[in-house]
Amino acid sequence: MGHADNSTPPPAAEPESGDRRPRLLFVSNLFPDRDQPVRGQDNALLLGWLRAHYQVEVLVPRPSLVWWRRPCWQPLERDRPLQPLYLPVPYVPKWGDRWNHRLMQWRLGPALEQRHQAGRCQRLLASWLFADGCAVTRWSTPRQIPTCLIAQGSDVHQYLQRPARRQAILQAVHDSRRVITRSEALRRMLVDAGADPASVRCIYNGVDTRLFHPGDAAEARSQLQLPADRPLLLFVGNLLPVKNPHLLLQAVARLSADLAADRAPILAIVGSGPMQSELESAAASLGIAPQLRWLGRQSSEQVALCMRAADLLVMSSVNEGLPNVILEAMASGLPVVSTDVGGISELLPIPGAGRLTAQDAGELARAMLQLLDDQRSDRAWIAQRGRNHDWAGTAAAYHDWIEANASGSSFSGS
Q: What gap in Å lies between CA 352 and CA 383, rounded to an integer? A: 12
Q: Are residues 228 and 180 in the same domain?
A: no
Q: What is the pLDDT of residue 157?
A: 87
Q: Are residues 197 and 241 in the same domain?
A: no
Instruction: Note whether 56 and 50 are within 8 A (CB).
Output: yes
Q: Are residues 155 and 230 in the same domain?
A: no
Whether pLDDT at 368 is above 80: yes
Q: What gap in Å lies between CA 326 and CA 317, rounded to an integer? A: 12
Q: What is the pLDDT of residue 256?
A: 96
| pLDDT: which is higher, 406 or 400 | 400
Mean pLDDT score, 74-90:
96
Whether pLDDT at 226 is above 70: yes
Instruction: Give the list of residues 6+ apart from residue 397 with CB closer than 8 angstroms, or none.
Output: 203
Q: Are residues 348 and 398 in the same domain?
A: no
Structural domain includes residue 369: yes
Q: Are residues 282 and 294 in the same domain?
A: yes
Query: Which tens digit of pLDDT belongs to each residue from 91-108?
Result: 998 899 999 999 999 999
Q: Answer whether the bond into residue 131 is a cis peptide, omega within 30°.
A: yes
Q: State how far Cα 185 lies from the chain centre.
A: 15
Structural domain includes residue 212: no
Instruction: Give the list of residues 6+ apart from residue 358 with CB closer than 8 angstroms, or none.
Output: 339, 340
Q: Are residues 377 and 395 in the same domain?
A: no
Which pLDDT band, with edges at 50, 70 and 90, does 2 fall under?
low
| pLDDT: which is higher, 342 or 129 | 129
Specify the range with the lowest mean pLDDT, choosing from 4-8, 346-350, 379-383.
4-8
Q: Are residues 336 and 395 in the same domain?
A: no
Structural domain includes residue 296: yes
Whether pLDDT at 355 is above 50: yes
Query: Which tens digit of pLDDT belongs to each residue from 293-315?
Result: 999 999 889 999 999 999 999 99
Helix axes 300-309, 217-224, angle to 10 degrees: 120
Q: What is the pLDDT of residue 14?
A: 46
Q: What is the pLDDT of residue 375?
A: 57
Bridge-based pairing state of the strands 232-236 and 200-202 = unpaired
Whether pLDDT at 188 is above 90: yes
Whether pLDDT at 410 is above 70: no
Q: Are residues 109 and 223 in the same domain?
A: no
Q: State how far Cα 8 lies from the chain centre.
A: 17
Structural domain includes residue 269: yes
Q: Are residues 154 and 228 in the same domain?
A: no
Which pLDDT band, with edges at 50, 70 and 90, does 413 fall under?
very low
Query: Which tens digit of pLDDT belongs to each residue from 98-146?
Result: 999 999 999 999 999 999 999 999 999 999 999 999 999 999 999 999 9
Q: What is the pLDDT of residue 376?
A: 56
Q: What is the pLDDT of residue 148?
A: 98
Structural domain includes residue 256: yes
Q: How many domains does the chain have?
A: 2
Torsion of CA 348, 306, 374, 206, to 10 degrees: 20
Domain CATH for 402: 3.40.50.2000
- Mind giving me the DSSP string for 257-292? HHS-GGGPPEEEEE---TTHHHHHHHHHHHT-GGGE
Structural domain includes residue 294: yes
How big is the CA angle at 151 (ends 343 and 236), to the nearest 5 degrees? 50
Q: Are residues 125 and 234 in the same domain?
A: no
Specify the range with the lowest mean pLDDT, choosing from 54-68, 185-199, 367-381.
367-381
Query: Which tens digit of pLDDT belongs to each residue from 227-252?
Result: 999 999 999 999 999 999 999 999 99
Structural domain includes residue 413: no
Mean pLDDT score, 7-32:
75
Q: What is the pLDDT of residue 268?
A: 98
Mean pLDDT score, 172-198:
95
Mean pLDDT of the chain: 91
Whether pLDDT at 12 is above 50: no
Q: What is the pLDDT of residue 377?
A: 65
Q: What gap in Å lies between CA 349 and CA 338, rounded to an integer? A: 9
Q: Are residues 96 and 59 in the same domain?
A: yes
Which residue range(s) make up the domain with 399?
3-206+390-407
Mean pLDDT score, 152-159:
91
Q: Are residues 147 and 225 in the same domain?
A: no
Mean pLDDT score, 55-74:
92
Q: What is the pLDDT of residue 18?
A: 72
Q: Which of 150-159, 285-294, 365-374, 385-394 has the highest mean pLDDT?
A: 285-294
Q: Please report, rounded to a whole number, the percentage of residues in the chain having pLDDT higher than 70.
A: 93
